[in-house]
Amino acid sequence: MSNYLIAGFLGVFFGFSLNKAGLTKYHKIVDVFRFTDMAVLKFMMTALVVAMIGLYGLRGLGLIVFPSVPSTYIVGNVIGGLIFGIGMALTGY
Amino acid sequence: MKFILNYIRKEEWSPYVAGILLGVVGVLAVLLSNSLLGASGAFENIAGLIGKAVAPQAFDNMYFNFIMPPGITWGVILLVGVFFGGMLGAFSSGTFKWRLVSDDQWKKVFGPQVWKRWVLAFLGAIVLEYGAGIAGGCTSGLAISGGMLLAPAAFLFIGGMFASGILTAMVVYRKGY
């Protein structure tokens, strides 16, 4: 139960950050593929760097154990990404 | 203090500031519930739930039994939170509004017809979700959550996503690219 509360709570902040970065808008998503507005990449890469530092730091201190890492199967990951990109550029989601 | 409140009310933050917030949320998800952020998986959990109720035989397969078991998972609740969080963001900047076609740029490219946006959004989302299903996640579940654990899968996915996204945008925008 408390796990669900955490999920809801974190979800609110997740959605809030997406909204404030403008990623809920069609033109923001498409414009990163046109190289006219790089907000999506700036947002993603900042989140990545912050989370990497936090997670590896906490693991170094022995406070967390990593959850199962998404599995790598090269062909699937790439083909999935290729299909995903088409949908993303068409819809702006 | 006033500065911070004013910043929260701004419609658009610097993507770096918003990115820091998401990064912290990503760390907290692991720290508090040993889970990874994600969106596409939740849709599959719900689809599985509906599918098992409506057509149990068709959904009695490897994918829905083991890889993406149906149910109200952590990710589903997260997604509900995302919906309200996005809404809260719009309310905080006073930009909340019901719209059938939300984006001016969309209208410029595809025309003002409402049905076009909805049909393309529906079909495009099917393509998107299908791709996410094959790859094992979406922008949040694989690219960001996997990337922050330095999973090679995440970076392969980002590469594929940008390659086809750029090509699709070129086709859609043609001369305007």
Q: What is the pLDDT of residues B16-51, one digit of tens each?
A: 999 999 999 999 999 999 999 989 889 999 999 999
Give the per-residue SS3 of chain B. Answer: CHHHHHHHHCCCCCHHHHHHHHHHHHHHHHHHHCCCCCCHHHHHHHHHHHHHHHCCCCCCCHHHHHHCCCCCCHHHHHHHHHHHHHHHHHHHCCCCCCCCCCCHHHHHHHCCCHHHHHHHHHHHHHHHHHHHHHHCCCHHHHHHHHHCCCCHHHHHHHHHHHHHHHHHHHHHHHHHC
Q: What is the pLDDT of residues B71-90, one digit of tens each?
A: 899 999 999 999 999 999 99
| Spacing of C-alpha B3 from chain mean position | 30
Query: Where in the sequence is the domain holding B139, given as residue range(s)?
Result: 99-177
> Do B106 and B83 have their domain in common?
no
Amino acid letter for position B87: M
Return the residue of A nearest to B144 by Cα. Answer: A48
Query: Where in the sequence is the domain holding A64, given as residue range(s)?
Result: 2-91
> Do B5 and B92 have their domain in common?
yes
Confidence (pLDDT) at B150: 94
> What is the interface pTM, i.e. ipTM, of the complex?
0.94
Token output for B97: 């509004």
> Do B9 and B88 have their domain in common?
yes
Q: How many domains does chain B have?
A: 2
> Do B82 and B111 have their domain in common?
no
> Do B38 and B123 have their domain in common?
no
Confidence (pLDDT) at B144: 94
Domain boundary at B81, B97, B113, which?
B97
Q: Are B44 and B5 in contact (CB under 8 A)?
A: no
Confidence (pLDDT) at B103: 87
**% of chain B exceeding 90 in pLDDT:** 73
Q: How many domains does chain A have?
A: 1
Whether the CB of B168 is below 8 Å from some CB of chain A: the reply is yes
Domain boundary at B36, B71, B97, which?
B97
CB–CB of A44 and B172 under 8 A?
A: no
> Do B75 and B152 have their domain in common?
no
Q: Considering only residues 80 to 139 of chain B, which have any Cβ-Cβ distance to chain A shorter than 8 Å?
A: 80-90, 92-93, 102-106, 120-121, 123-139
Token output for A50: 């912050």
Q: What is the pLDDT of residues A29-58, one digit of tens each?
A: 999 999 999 999 999 999 999 999 999 999
> Do B135 and B92 have their domain in common?
no
From CA A81, how far away is CA B84, in angstroms rounded? 28
Q: In angstroms, what separates the C-alpha of A62 from chain B's closest C-alpha?
A: 11
B12, pLDDT greater than 90: yes
> Do B2 and B89 have their domain in common?
yes
Whether the CB of A69 is below 8 Å from some CB of chain B: the reply is yes
Task: Over range A16-38, report the average pLDDT.
Answer: 95
CB–CB of B139 and A44 under 8 A?
A: yes
From CA B48, how far away is CA B60, in angstroms rounded? 10
Give the nearest partner residue to A67 out of B36, B80, B128, using CB atoms.
Answer: B36
Q: Please spell the DSSP secondary structure of A56-67, one letter per residue.
A: HHHHHTTS--PP
Three-class SS of residue A93?
A: coil
CB–CB of A44 and B36 under 8 A?
A: no
**% of chain B exceeding 70 in pLDDT:** 100
Give B62's pLDDT tier (boundaries 50, 70, 90). Answer: confident
CB–CB of B31 and A64 under 8 A?
A: yes
CB–CB of A67 and B34 under 8 A?
A: yes
Domain boundary at B97, B128, B160, which?
B97
CB–CB of B159 and A24 under 8 A?
A: no
From CA B38, how far away is CA A73, in angstroms rounded? 19
> Do B3 and B87 have their domain in common?
yes
> Do B91 and B169 have their domain in common?
no
Q: In angstroms, what separates the C-alpha of A83 from chain B's closest C-alpha?
A: 5
Closest to A89 measured CA to CA, from B40, B13, B163, B118: B163
Distances (CA, A) of B151 to A3, A29, B42, B67, B142: 25, 24, 21, 18, 9
> Do B69 and B104 have their domain in common?
no
Task: Over range B146-158, report the average pLDDT.
Answer: 95
Q: Are B73 and B42 in contact (CB under 8 A)?
A: yes
Confidence (pLDDT) at B63: 87
Give B64's pLDDT tier (boundaries 50, 70, 90). Answer: confident
Confidence (pTM): 0.93
Q: Are B172 and B73 in contact (CB under 8 A)?
A: no
Q: Considering only residues 5 to 34 of chain A, which have any Cβ-Cβ distance to chain B shorter than 8 Å?
A: 6-22, 24-27, 30-34
Give A93's pLDDT tier (boundaries 50, 70, 90). Answer: confident
